[in-house]
Structure 1
């Protein structure tokens, strides 16, 4: 004979199942409800058809895959590309917010700023941002606060090294041009660092603005007119998208150039010294994973590049009539024949 307590338990279970049946919810469906698939927004200033931009987004996807995520099964990605237009970023960021993504991964300073302006609640993981403190994206590197964290490109700190390399490549350099885009808040910290380095190395600095590709010819004409001896091209998405044109103009003006993004050297630029954005994008997946597992973006320290590379394009050096000093060449991680 069943005890009264067992009868009471069986009765409660029966009534619970009956209530679900009345509501039209099958018991099996309740027991086997699929877990929520996290949705990640990916925001980039570049073009979806640019091989470099594809490599960057692929690196992020590879990072997720290495952590066990399977796209469209255990995670979904909504990618938006501004096609080189800064003006499109706010609308694209707002679109990701309307899609109710769980996290936004923003590549570059302008994309991160647009994402933060669109939401102060959805976590944002920035990648390849130059100086997140100086540009107001985070309160500090150790404790960002707010809803933004990620990876810094550390480009401002690298400008001094790039200028030092130019003085080794061109021992008699006295005037160095700097190509920058004032529309990108990440360029100003780099320019300030260039000014400090110029004073230290006792060279004159010629800062030239380029807000779009139509400004390149005029900027390089000014370099020639002012007799610049070399040029530093700052880290800037629009410059990367037009890297072939910039490399050709630098060669035409016979100006040795140093860049902070590797793809410039691959496109015909003389030298690259800096971190790898592809590696940073891959590492962004680890931060996304931490946030999805419960960490707060504002509590996660901003991470830095762990390795730096130097790449020299020997074909470009030959076209410029430039002999790379052995002391510089032996320090290169790679030479492009």
Structure 2
């Protein structure tokens, strides 16, 4: 009798185990999202965090592969190859060079980009709102003319210096726009190009005797090595103006205007979710952060005082960020 009971229990356990295995097999596999950023600096890190937070809020359950190319295009290529080998469901490129590499190596994979300034010149889109096959995203184009007009109200510069990375299509495009705007405003633009963040300090030193102000748009090398520029400029009593808030939060940039990369990341996360839910990437219009509520001002009162620059009470009251007595004040 005991032997019979043992046999019955054994059979039941075996059947139960088999049923569990079948149930496990029926569970759908989670989609895989490959997220790759060109380099680690505050702006791109904020965009990445915004993506992750939005996906979490939308209850998107997925395997997420986070990669960082560390500013190396060879590593970018290796990351794209990995995403292709892993057959990711969506590839996300943070910054122009990273996205271009993904697009070149993953022609049949949905690609969502963020922090790309000019997707048309980068070969990612046919227009500012329409991505190429399998591509959509969020652009980070900044209003250069409006920014320079605002900056000139507080410091009437005549010779403006910019430093940018020649390998970044977005930077080349913004340099061209800056030249056009400076011509309109009667400002002489003096340019120094670089290849890596390590060259920022030397580039700044080469310009200090020829300019009376610096302007930084959204260049990844500059964002990575912002202190090299601001320290050199401060030593030579030259103001730095910024077109992106995030890299300026540690001080040194007199006046910065820009939008939130974190909010841009959240907008990107919503596009990723739509792709995972079945929409084709190319059917989703390219988006941009054009809502004024995401456009912020930063004033460094300490650096301004050192350089003899004064701000109106109205401007100070309108700023979302102030640096005073070495501390960042967020309103």
> How much has 1:177 moved relative to structure 2?
0.8
**Partner SS state of residue 165, structure 1:** helix
Equivalent in the alignment of 2:145: 160
> How much has 1:31 moved relative to structure 2?
5.9
> How does 1:216-231 map onto structure 2 within 5 Å?
216-226=200-210, 228-231=211-214
Cα contact 1:244–1:264 (8 A) shared by 2: no
**Partner SS state of residue 278, structure 1:** helix
Equivalent in the alignment of 1:64: 55
Query: Which of 270, 274, 282 is the matching residue for 2:266?
Result: 282
Q: Counterparts of 2:306 and 2:117 in 1: how far apart (Å)? A: 31
TM-score (norm 2): 0.85
Query: Which of 34, 37, 50 is the matching residue for 2:30?
Result: 37
User: What do the CA deviations read for 1:24-50 (whole angstroms, capped 9, x no partner)?
Assistant: x95665566001201000101113xx6
User: What do the CA deviations read for 1:227-259 (whole angstroms, capped 9, x no partner)?
Assistant: x11111121222212122222122122221122
> How much has 1:331 moved relative to structure 2?
3.7
Cα contact 1:168–1:325 (8 A) shared by 2: no
Query: Which of 282, 286, 299 is the matching residue for 1:312?
Result: 299
**Partner SS state of residue 83, structure 2:** helix
Q: Counterparts of 2:218 and 2:73 in 1: how far apart (Å)? A: 15
Equivalent in the alignment of 2:176: 192
Query: Which of 90, 100, 105 is the matching residue for 1:103?
Result: 90
User: What do the CA deviations read for 1:277-307 (whole angstroms, capped 9, x no partner)?
Assistant: 1111122111011001111111110001023
Select between 130-139 and 51-60 the one with higher mean Cα deviation: 51-60
Cα contact 1:142–1:301 (8 A) shared by 2: yes
Equivalent in the alignment of 2:241: 258
Cα contact 2:44–2:261 (8 A) shared by 1: no
Q: Counterparts of 2:74 and 2:91 in 1: how far apart (Å)? A: 18
> How much has 1:136 moved relative to structure 2?
1.6
Q: Counterparts of 2:246 and 2:45 in 1: how far apart (Å)? A: 13
> How does 1:238-257 map onto structure 2 within 5 Å?
238-257=221-240
**Partner SS state of residue 160, structure 2:** strand
> How much has 1:327 moved relative to structure 2?
5.1
Cα contact 2:208–2:233 (8 A) shared by 1: no
Structure 2 unmatched ranges of 5 or more: 1-16, 325-331
Equivalent in the alignment of 1:169: 154
Cα contact 1:243–1:267 (8 A) shared by 2: no
Equivalent in the alignment of 1:323: 310
Q: Counterparts of 2:69 and 2:124 in 1: how far apart (Å)? A: 20
Cα contact 1:37–1:76 (8 A) shared by 2: yes
CA RMSD of aligned residues (A): 2.1
Equivalent in the alignment of 1:7: none
Aligned residues: 303
Query: Which of 151, 154, 163 is the matching residue for 1:179?
Result: 163
Cα contact 1:247–1:264 (8 A) shared by 2: no
Q: Counterparts of 1:291 and 1:115 in 2: how far apart (Å)? A: 16
> How does 1:115-130 map onto structure 2 within 5 Å?
115-130=102-117
Q: Counterparts of 2:321 and 2:201 in 1: how far apart (Å)? A: 30
